[in-house]
């Protein structure tokens, strides 16, 4: 009995895919960074891309395509051929948040598949030193007793820091006024000056101010202690809020349809690169915590998107 034609086609495709993967890569790989040079995602992607260039034997070329909060470059990557020669330096902003607060020309759950997690970072709950609280519990008690009196800053409406603050406020029963800025730098400047009272900001952006006592730090938004600020408790621990775990992430993802063997090869080499001591050191210097990928990165990213979406809906945040 002969083999049915449709099974011959499947076998041929499988053999072709395996052969393709064995020869991959045979030309340079484009790494799309949807942010300008020097931004955290850009620097982290370059650190790992340099190691992958050596291990894969082909150059990984960074292609910066900034604009529209990272959605322009992300859309370019989403519409690229799923052959392993275009990958995206994805991050929580354009992948986990923007599609939940505005219209974007791609579907993060359908148009991308993950390769590996490079790093993540929690946010630090910081306040101007004039705020009369010594720890997170006192801070929450103070704001609860004074609804509407205090203000919190963010790098912009719908930004990760804004959504983390909204979740914190709703979880603790705080009523405060949001003051959005055009980026973290002006928000922190006004926070240090006392024009706003508190904020959630990345470790890298506030660690210097904390050490110089220009800002008070109460807790971190991740469910584990920060490697950079280990004395600060997680909010989940300090305020007895099990499950409170909000982080920004950076990782490599690819257009959906990437050959399985190519994806596995990229993932394996990426995990090796992130585990290197010199890569860890460079990521920590950026205020990023090197991290192994979750057991199921696809499920993790979907959960991240759903959680940010739920916060945005609850706070009625929409940018369209």
Close Cβ partners of 215 (under 8 Å, ≥ 6 residues apart) = 126, 127, 128, 129, 191, 192, 206, 209
Q: Which of 286, 245, 302 is nearest to 114 (CA)?
A: 302
Q: Which of 4-18, 98-112, 262-276 has the lowest mean pLDDT?
A: 4-18
Residue 2 has pLDDT above 60, yes or no: no
Which domains does the chain show, CATH number per domain? 27-120+247-314 (3.40.190.150), 122-238 (3.40.190.10)
Helix (H) or strand (E) run with residue 290 in it: strand 289-290
pLDDT of residue 257: 96
Rounded distance between C-alpha atoms, residue 35 and residue 67, angstroms: 7
pLDDT of residue 292: 62
pTM for the model stands at: 0.86
pLDDT of residue 22: 66
Residue 218 has pLDDT above 70, yes or no: yes
Q: Where would I find the beta strands (DSSP E) of 100-188?
A: 112-127, 151-154, 177-180
pLDDT of residue 240: 96
pLDDT of residue 78: 98
pLDDT of residue 293: 66
**Running DSSP on this structure, what letter comes out for residue 234?**
B
Q: How confident is the model at residue 291 (pLDDT cuts 50, 70, 90)?
A: confident
| pLDDT one-digit tens code per residue, 104-133 | 999 999 999 999 999 999 999 999 999 999
pLDDT of residue 24: 97
Close Cβ partners of 83 (under 8 Å, ≥ 6 residues apart) = 258, 259, 262
């Amino acid at each position: 009995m002969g083999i049915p034609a449709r099974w011959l086609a499947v076998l041929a495709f499988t053999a072709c895919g395996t052969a393709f993967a064995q020869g991959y890569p045979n030309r340079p790989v484009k790494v799309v960074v949807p942010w300008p040079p020097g931004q955290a995602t850009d620097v982290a992607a370059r650190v790992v891309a340099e190691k992958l260039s050596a291990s894969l034997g082909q150059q990984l070329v960074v292609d910066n395509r900034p604009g529209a909060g990272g959605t322009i470059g992300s859309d370019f990557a989403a519409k690229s051929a799923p052959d392993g020669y275009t990958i995206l330096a994805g991050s929580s902003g354009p992948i986990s948040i923007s599609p939940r607060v505005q219209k974007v020309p791609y579907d993060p759950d359908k148009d991308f598949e993950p390769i590996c997690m490079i790093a993540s970072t929690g946010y630090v709950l910081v306040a101007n030193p004039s705020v009369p609280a010594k720890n997170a519990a006192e801070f929450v008690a103070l704001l609860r007793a004074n609804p509407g009196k205090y203000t919190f800053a963010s790098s912009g409406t719908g930004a990760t820091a804004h959504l983390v603050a909204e979740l914190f406020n709703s979880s603790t029963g705080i009523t405060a006024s949001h003051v959005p800025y055009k980026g973290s730098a002006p928000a922190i400047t006004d926070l240090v000056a006392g024009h706003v009272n508190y904020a959630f900001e990345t470790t890298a952006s506030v660690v210097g101010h904390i050490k110089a006592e220009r800002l008070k730090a109460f807790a971190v938004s991740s469910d584990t202690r920060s490697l950079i600020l280990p004395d600060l408790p997680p909010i989940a621990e300090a305020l007895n809020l099990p499950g409170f775990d909000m982080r920004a992430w950076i990782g490599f993802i690819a257009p959906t349809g990437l050959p399985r063997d190519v994806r596995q090869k990229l993932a394996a080499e990426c995990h090796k690169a992130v585990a290197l001591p010199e890569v860890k050191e460079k990521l920590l210097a950026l205020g990023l915590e090197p991290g192994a990928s979750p057991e199921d990165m696809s499920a993790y990213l979907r959960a991240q998107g759903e959680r940010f979406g739920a916060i945005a809906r609850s706070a009625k945040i929409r940018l369209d």
